Amino acid sequence: MALYATIHFIFFALYAQILLGFVQILIALILLFFINRYNKKIKRLFAFYWGAALTTLILIYLLFELNPHGSILKYEVFIIPMLIASYFVYITYLIQKQ
């Protein structure tokens, strides 16, 4: 029974990751309106974030389009977006600290 519950919680966490990804993009769009207030380092980090986020979104889209019934690697769908999300947390920490 515990294994069954664990597997269900893992799937709920993966679905929550998708929802949090949309929230993260929304927050990044809001922060984009205040880009003139940030110092040069934060602007550079923010530009790198957008490059990484858009590249990952395009990569995931192409993986689904090119192989709709095949298996998707967990790195492209789960691990890389979580690394980008961690990077975004670092950027928001620097903005808050500024």
Pair 14, 78: CB distance under 8 Å: yes
Rg of the chain over Cα atoms, rounded to whole angstroms, equals: 16
List pLDDT tens digits, range 8-62: 677 777 778 888 888 888 999 999 899 888 999 999 999 999 999 999 889 888 8
pLDDT for 88 equals: 93
Which position has the token pair 């990484």?
52
pTM: 0.78
Cβ neighbours for 46, distance < 8 A, ≥ 6 positions apart:
28, 31, 32, 35, 38, 91
Domain boundaries, the chain: 2-97
List pLDDT tens digits, range 71-95: 666 666 778 888 999 999 999 999 9
